[in-house]
Amino acid sequence: MDFFEAQARARQRTSRLILFFALAVAGMIAAGYFAAIFLLHHAGGHEAAQALLGRLDPHADSIVLWQPDVLGVVAAGTLFVVGAGSLFKWLQFSGGGGAVAESVGGRRVDPHTTEFKERRLLNVVEEMAIASGVPMPAVYVLDDEPAINAFAAGLTTKDAVVAVTRGTLEKLTREELQGVVGHEFSHILNGDMRLNLRLAATIFGILVIGLAGRGLLWGLRHARVRTDRDKNGGGLVLILIGVGLALLIIGYVGYFFGRLIQAAVSRQREFLADASAVQFTRNPAGLGGALKKIGGYALGSSMQSSKSAAIGHFFFAQGFRSHFGGLWATHPPLGERIRAIEPRFDGKFFDPPEVVDVGRQSFVSAGLAPARPAPPVLAPAAALAGLAAAGSLPPAAIDAAHDLLESTPDRLRLAAQTTGEARLLVCGLLLADDPAVRAGQRNIVGAHYGGESLRQLDQLESSLQRLRPEHKLPLLQIALPALRSLPAPALGTFLGTLDALVHADEHVSAFEFALQKTIARALALGRPGGEVVQIHSFNAVTAELSAVLSLLARAATAEPERAAQSFAAGAAQLPLVAAQLQFLPESTATLAQLDGALDKLATASPAIKQRTLVAAAHTVTADGRLLVAEGELLRAIAAALDVPVPPLGAVAA
């Protein structure tokens, strides 16, 4: 699965949806227009109705079909109601995936939970996050839902959540749970989450018209219709009833067709997510087993709370009964989904044995994770392979993520999941080897967080010393949910502390830059909608491309001639502007300049981002090697451009 192609498909789907919904709204406007013409014609003899609905010749023998003024009023009113309703719902979703999960009764899983099944769920999500290169999503459980279901929600990968029902935790094995989580990560990587939110907001906006009509009729339920002594008053009530009926019918007809569009799009998306999950996990039996259990259990995937109905198309499986002969079904039939995975499926569903609960053990001994072979040692081509796998979950990356987690000290994983300790853990990752610099950095931590923080940092010391370089950024990914929970003042203090630690030795390393950039992008929740594409031409970013490739070339080697060759290798991947790119001198090719360049490139089109990353990969591998620091810097650049990249050493060429 190509990340940029997936994003292009998401934009194409969005464009088609805009067209379809525009046609649906246009149909509603047309229906509302003709209803208004009819009502105005028959209301012409009532003075109060004229004052309410407009002027019309009551003596006209026939209905005048073309009345631009009426069309303008109806169109403006319809667009206003639909737009206001959609905006209201969108603002409700603007809090990100957490707001969606909590709106349907989700409970965030405590990272320190000792409950076996919740620990297993966290472990699976951590593996998927590290393998895909996306920030660790927050994990939620719907405790009141005994059926098997799950969903992913959010505006971007930075505020995504993965939520599962209680039934999913209790009824699925680890392999089946991994298949479900892989399915949800496919939605995250394919850009489906934002599309889902747009669908829900737009359909709610259309429904508001029907709700307005229903509310008007409900308000008139006790009104008395008198046409003899109070002709105008009685006529006005009749007109209001007519308006209410028109709004009710038009609104719900629009809602009907909106749901048809939503369901058709959702069904196709589910097939793609199933295929991607099997590709990620290399285990069709896992996802297939989860689907068979849905078919075998009495409750299946049915959601009990009506609050979940508005996001029914988010779920892993059909959450609510489909009406109109399956036309509103948001998911394909279970049999079709299973046969797409297992062509020899005989149509029989079954109840699997219960998972045995165990005490607190390591993930391997407790059965939380199967033993796997060590990830392969790869050549520098892993950088290009990693970028080719952007936006996906390669099976080798999942295996490598498992091994990274298993070899990470438990004390550090626990610290990464606690808000207070997560701050100190990140500070600990920045401590220098030089004793003098390290002492100065500890003083900085003590000045910002007090003496107790130094004692807590000492408790992490032995584990930090055993930490390998390739563990550091994955550990940071696990810590991001805890860091997101920091209040604004504490977050400002934390970022200031990090900056002071980075500059304590008056030198910014590739890892330090990667860590700061990753945190800055992952915690920048003030703009949940992501960057707006503003740049579509390579010519507009030649200075920024020169800065990126120049710094990478100098980071790859200290020899000026070889650095120039590395720069040339990267520039050759940008043939449209290769002649305009300049190899900058060391005095100007700084990380500060790279930071500004990446901020501008973040607003470039996906095509520019893709070629930039390819050129960057060729630059750092031109000397025939790929150092850990170079790989970290390359992944940080990808993260700054909002492109999730798996660990580079874990992707098979």
pLDDT, one tens digit per residue, over 510-563 is 788 888 888 887 876 444 445 567 888 999 999 999 999 998 888 777 788 888
User: Given the structure tokens 């496919």, which residue do they identify?
Assistant: 186
What gap in Å lies between CA 137 and CA 153, rounded to an integer? Answer: 10
Q: b/e for 552-564, b at 16 or more Cβ within 10 A?
A: bbbbbbeeeeebe
**Which residues are known catalytic residues?**
184
Question: Is 651 within 8 Å of 378 (Cβ atoms)?
Answer: yes
In angstroms, the CA 562 to CA 540 distance is 28
How many residues can be counted in the chain?
Answer: 653
Q: What is the pLDDT of residue 226?
A: 52
First vs last C-alpha separation in the chain = 15
Which amino acid, 132? Answer: S
Whole-number pLDDT of residue 44:
53
- pLDDT, tens digit (0-9, with 9 covering 90-100), for 270-313: 887 888 888 888 888 999 999 999 988 878 888 888 778 778 77
Contact 535, 606 (CB under 8 A): no
Helices 591-601 + 510-522 axis angle, to 10: 30
Q: Provide φ and ψ at 458, rounded to 5°.
A: -65, -35
CB 496 within 8 A of CB 615: no
Q: What's the rounded Cα separation, in Å, for the pair 177 and 280?
A: 13
Angle (CA) 450-454-458 rounded to 5° is 165
Beta-carbon contacts of residue 228 (< 8 Å; ≥ 6 apart): 234
Q: At 577, list the tokens.
A: 């502007």
Structure tokens at 366: 């407790």
pLDDT of residue 371: 43
Question: What pLDDT score does 140 carry?
Answer: 96
pLDDT for res 366: 44
pLDDT at 391 (0 to 100):
62
What is the Cα–Cα distance from 504 to 427, expressed in whole angstroms?
A: 12
Q: Tell which residue, 246, 251, 242, 254, has the closest CA to residue 210.
A: 251
pTM higher than the cut 0.95: no
Which positions of the chain have pLDDT values less than 70?
A: 1-15, 17-18, 41-64, 220-237, 239, 322-326, 350-393, 524-532, 647-653
Question: What is the rounded (10 degree) CA torsion for 254, 197, 150, 176?
Answer: 110
Cα(620)–Cα(570) distance, rounded to whole angstroms? Answer: 8
pLDDT for 389 equals: 61
